[in-house]
Every structure is written in structure tokens, then in C-alpha cells.
Amino acid sequence: MLFATYVQDLNPLGVRILSTIVAALPVLVLFYLLVGRRWLASWAGAAGSVVALVLATVVYGMPLEMAVGSFFYGAAFGLLPIGWTVFAAMLLYNITVETGQFTIIRRSIGSLSKDARIQAVLIGFAFGAFMEGAAGAGSPVAICGAMLVGLGVPPFRAAVICLIANTSPVCYGGLGVPIMTLQTSSGIDADKISIMCGHQLPFLSCLIPLYMVKTMCTWRQTLAIWPALFVGGASFGIFQFIFATAHAYGFPPIWQLTDIGGGIFSLITLALFLKFVWKPKEEWRFPEEATSMAATPVRVSEPHDPQAEHAREEVKELLEGPKSPAGEAPLTFRSVSIAWMPWILMALCLVGSGVVKQLESDKKGPLDLFGLKTYYDIQIPGLHKQVQRAEALVPPGTKDEDKLEAAVFKFTWLTAPGTPVLLGGILSMIMLGMSRKQVVLVFRKTVHQMRIPIPTIAFMLGLSYITKYAGMDATLGVAFAATGVLYPFFAAMLGWLGVFLTGTDAGSNALFGGLQKITATEVWNAHHTGAMSNLTLDQAQTLICTANSTGGVMGKMIDAQSICVATAGTNQIGKEADIFKAVIWHSVLLASIVGMLTALQAFVYPFTLMVPK
């Protein structure tokens, strides 16, 4: 016999269409405030959470204390491991900037080639992937855009190049924050999501360099450097596949390093290829004269737009010059090696964390470390096993106790990526001889930079957990399931829409992860004896939820935050609409390709074999 405090009702108003509209209101309010009113994401997330709380209690009949508990449960995941990881990653980046090491890295990459097409691959794609994995938060578009303009690429072209390039690496951005967020919202293990990403994204990673360069020049000029495009894209794609899926073959989970390692590997591979194997017959430059970064910017069309102002402030901090004279020193093997050392230390710490996670998995529980457990499971009082799922969501034959929703916060203080990254940062401070003043400045700067991203993720996940435990996302999932066998394609497009509106892949995953899982369940139940007969329910859920993230990354180039960062980084403030028009159809086409790939993996053998079990 069940003793649930709250039983979900997917049609609380008695009229399906009205219940669906009510269930969609929190997300609609969030999107209206973000796009229509141009609110900062953190404030919009807070408003959407309040709307969700009211509807969950007033319309769905969920006890207020349970709705509030659901919000704080989700927000806690937004802080650890997700917010903690984002903070630590940005802290390490700021350490390299403060000590002048990042300037050395930029100079060493900018000197590899004078051909604008190859510079786009080296900087926009490979170095951009490294920046996405290391820091995220708009850093690839801002930093790589400024680098390309400084090398003579016209500012408008530089912005477009970097926006297109900042797509396939985004799932692993900020040390895998989008994947961790998707695990939190959907309940699917992050290691399994990473494998599915590794079976989709490498195809896009091989395509993006070609696609990006084609936007710069003619087909003939593009194909003239096909060896460099192949080496740059394939090297990253192969590395992406290996690191994303290594744990499926018995290695420790190290997928958080996918972008960082892939970007470095692609840079080194392409640099060695250009030095010892192949060079373009002639160096290609843009025919028009590049606009100087010092040129007077266009007048801002919306001077009081909070999103645009925040983006400009963010770019200013990201592009801030080094505080040490190291950036002026001649480049040597030793100086370049030291500049990369913080990232190497971070990688070693993350590998160590992966070993600990593997040991936890083998033991099927936490390890004992000097009297402390490596993680703690904390049951949420008043919520754990107090919510009974709607009967429509429960497969026949399910045991009574399995109909109750668990609410257990996993406090991963040691193996959350932020902890080993912070350790790498501390070791870097010691190695680079930072003063106490520099350390304080770096921490203050990082706290200031994270004042918007971390609360945003916390509010988004809080909103998501309210809708999950109230049953509101299930109401929407049942409605979306009406698209039937077409849904695997639309799953990717829904993720694309979520990123376009929220500005981040993590935000889209927080909002739609649970919805995608429920919809996948409904679609599989309807078609598992026909079109989806090659997939189990778990496989269908993994594929559809992952499509939210892999399809969503293609919306990254058109979200308001990315475009504002692109204009600020290339000194084109006021040209946001022109850049949006230039990339919108590229975004739609690439998202559609992910949708079609998802459909193939859902229905067509042997593509279905690519879905992990």
C-alpha cells in the first residue's frame, strides 16, 4: 500500500488542452521575460520559478512545502556540482590571465599560420573548443573573435566564424556542465549521456571546419585547403569520440576533458601537419581591408538592454590584458610549456578524480577517506518517496514502492569536477608564484563573473524540479508525444529552441531534460513493437534526452547572449541584428542535421547500434 503525500494528476483542469497550456506557463513566462522583456537570465529564472510554485500548488494541488522543497532540491544541484564546476573552471582561466600565461598561449597559436582560412580552423574551431571546455561562459566567441580581428579578419566575418565554430564542442563546455545538468534534470547517468554524445557530435565536428571556412570564401578556395580541414576536424572528432566514450571500454570516466584535450590535440596535430607535411600553395587573405579593433564602435541600438550590457562587461573581463610582463617576452619552448602547465595540472587532477569515481562504481558506494566518505546521499525531508507518479507514467507491473519518486541529493564534495579543478588552480598558483594580492584579485574577479551564471543555473533547475515533482512536465510530455515517430527529429529541435531562448545548453537541458525523458517513454510505449523495435526503453530515453543537448548546441550561435558577446568581442556593438540574420539559417540547417541523425539512430539499423545500452 502506498502512503504518498501527493499523487500527480496530468489533467488537473479536466480539459487536456487547458491543462497543457497551464503546464507550459512557467516556461512561456521565462521565455517572454528573456526575449520579449530582455531580462537577465537569473531574474527571468526566478520569475519562472515563482510562477511554477503558484501553479503547482493552486492548480495541481501540490502541498506548498513540497513545492518549495522541490525548488531547493533542484537549486542545490545547480550549486553542486554544476555551479561549483563553472566557478572553478573560470578561476583557473583567470589565474592564467592574471599571470600573463594566457597571452603567451594566444600569441603562440596566432603565429602558426598567416592563411586566414587555416587561422579560422586553428583559432575559431580548435582553440575555441579548448576555451569552451576550459571556461565556457561566452569565452570562445569573445576571445577567438578578438584574436581573428587582430590577425586581419574583418570583424563581421570573425563574429560569424566564431559563432558557427562554437557549436559541436558546447555539450562539454565548462568541463561538461551541460551533460551534468542533463543528468540532474532527466535522471539519466552522465556517463551514458556522454557516450551518446560521442556517437553523434564527432560527425558534426568533422563537418564544422569545412562549413565554417565555406562561409568565408568560395568552394574552390575552401577545397584548396581540404587536407588542413580534414586533419583539423578529424583529429578533434577522433579525440572527442575517444574521451567521450573511454569509460565504456573500461577506462576511468574522463569525459569532462573532452573539449580541452580535443582542442589541444587538434591544435598540435594541425600545427605539425602544416610544418612537416603540407602547406597551402598560396596564402589566402580577405580581399577587403579589416576594420581595426580600435575603430569607433557603432552606436548601441538598445543602450539600456541588461543582456547586452552584461555581455559587454563579460567580454571586457575576458579580454583583459595580462598583469605581468611575461606577455611581452619572446616565445620559447619553455615559456609556452609553462603557459600550458595550469591546464595540464588540471587534467591530471581530473584524471585522478575519474579514478576515484571508478573505484566508487566498483564498490557500488562511497569510499572511506580519513573518516570521511567520498560522497553523501542526503534524503530531502518531506519530499523523498512522498510523490506518487501518475498512473499513465508507470509501466504495467511496476512495484508499489517504485511508483514513488525518490528525492536524494548526492553531495559529491570530492569527485565533483570543481574540486579537482580547484586543486589544479591552487597548484598553478604555487607553480606560477602568485602573490597574495593576485590570489585575492583572481577570486574577486571570478565571484563577480559568476554572479549571473550560477544563480541562473540554480533557478533553472529549481524551476525544472518543481515541474517534475508536480507532474507539469509530464502533462507537456504527453502532449509532445502526439508527434509520434517524428518526435526524435523534433527532440533535437526542441533543444535548439531551448538554447536559443535561454542562452545556454545547460539551461535548455535543465528545462527540458525531464520533459524529453517522459516524451521518449510515451513515444516508445506507442511504437516499441514497430518503428522503435530496435531500442529498449532505456535506450530511447538516452537518445531523446541527449538530442536535447546535441541539437541544442546548434542554437548557441543565435542566442542573444552569444550574439551580444560576438559584437562586443569584435567591436561591432549595434550590429546584433545583422549578425543574427547572417547565422540563423546556418543554425537551423545544422540543428536539422542533428535531428535527422537522431531519427536514424532511433529507427534505422545499423544506426540503432550506436545507442548505448
pLDDT tens for 290-332 read 444 344 444 444 446 777 777 778 888 877 655 444 446 788 9
For range 29-39, the mean pLDDT: 88
By the 8 A CB rule, do 185 and 514 touch? yes
Share of the chain above pLDDT 90, in %: 69
By the 8 A CB rule, do 103 and 321 touch? yes
pLDDT tens for 193-204 read 999 999 999 999
Higher-pLDDT residue of 397 and 96 is 96
Residue 412 clears pLDDT 90, i.e. is over it: yes
Q: Which pLDDT does position 508 carry in this prediction?
A: 93
Q: Which residues pair with 405 in a beta bridge?
A: none
By the 8 A CB rule, do 499 and 552 touch? yes
Range list of H helices, 537-575 = 537-552, 560-569
Q: Which pLDDT does position 296 carry in this prediction?
A: 42
pLDDT tens for 78-123 read 998 899 999 999 999 999 999 999 989 988 888 888 899 999 999 9
For cell 587573405, name the residue: 285
Sign of the Cα torsion 242, 248, 249, 254 reads: positive
Task: Find, among 159, 151, 164, the residue nearest to 286 by Cα.
Answer: 151
Higher-pLDDT residue of 290 and 549 is 549
Residue 333 burial (10 A CB sphere; 0-12, 13-18, 19+): exposed
pLDDT tens for 253-286 read 889 999 999 999 999 999 999 999 999 988 898 8
DSSP symbols for 444-475: HHHHHHTTTHHHHHHHHHHHHHHHHHHTHHHH
Q: Is 372 helix (H, G, I), strand (E, B) or coil?
A: strand
By the 8 A CB rule, do 522 and 478 touch? yes
What's the rounded Cα separation, in Å, for the pair 490 and 509? Answer: 15
pLDDT tens for 444-474 read 999 998 998 899 999 999 999 999 999 999 9
Sign of the Cα torsion 379, 382, 383, 385 reads: positive
What's the rounded Cα separation, in Å, for the pair 283 and 237? Answer: 26
By the 8 A CB rule, do 9 and 61 touch? yes
Q: Which pLDDT does position 419 carry in this prediction?
A: 95
Residue 231 clears pLDDT 90, i.e. is over it: yes
Residue 22 clears pLDDT 90, i.e. is over it: yes
Q: Which of 56-70, 400-414, 476-490, 566-580 has the lowest mean pLDDT?
A: 566-580
Q: Which pLDDT does position 107 carry in this prediction?
A: 87
Task: Find, among 382, 393, 378, 519, the residue nearest to 6 by Cα.
Answer: 382
pLDDT tens for 71-90 read 999 999 999 889 999 999 99
Angstrom distances, CA of residue 131 to CA of 89, 265, 347, 449: 10, 13, 14, 16
Contacts of 356 (CB under 8 A, 6+ apart): 367, 374, 414, 415
Q: Residue 196 carries which side chain, given as an amino acid letter?
A: M
What's the rounded Cα separation, in Å, for the pair 332 and 310? Answer: 37
By the 8 A CB rule, do 7 and 66 touch? no
By the 8 A CB rule, do 495 and 547 touch? yes
Q: Which pLDDT does position 2 carry in this prediction?
A: 60
Q: Which residues pair with 599 in a beta bridge?
A: none
By the 8 A CB rule, do 367 and 143 touch? no
By the 8 A CB rule, do 409 and 73 touch? yes
For range 372-378, the mean pLDDT: 94
Residue 102 dihedral angles phi and psi, to the nearest 5°: -70, -30
For cell 563577480, name the residue: 448
The DSSP 8-state label assigned to residue 33 in this structure reads: I
- 3-class secondary structure per residue, 235-257: HHHHHHHHHHHHHHHCCCCCHHH
What's the rounded Cα separation, in Å, for the pair 52 and 591? Answer: 29
For cell 549595434, name the residue: 574
Which pLDDT band, with edges at 50, 70 and 90, does 151 fall under?
A: confident
Residue 15 clears pLDDT 50, i.e. is over it: yes
Q: What pTM, to 2 d.p., does this model score?
A: 0.90
What's the rounded Cα separation, in Å, for the pair 42 and 507? Answer: 11
Q: For residue 308, what is its C-alpha cell?
A: 547586452
Going by their DSSP bridges, the two strands 368-369 and 6-7 should be labelled as unpaired
Residue 226 burial (10 A CB sphere; 0-12, 13-18, 19+): exposed
For range 35-57, the mean pLDDT: 92
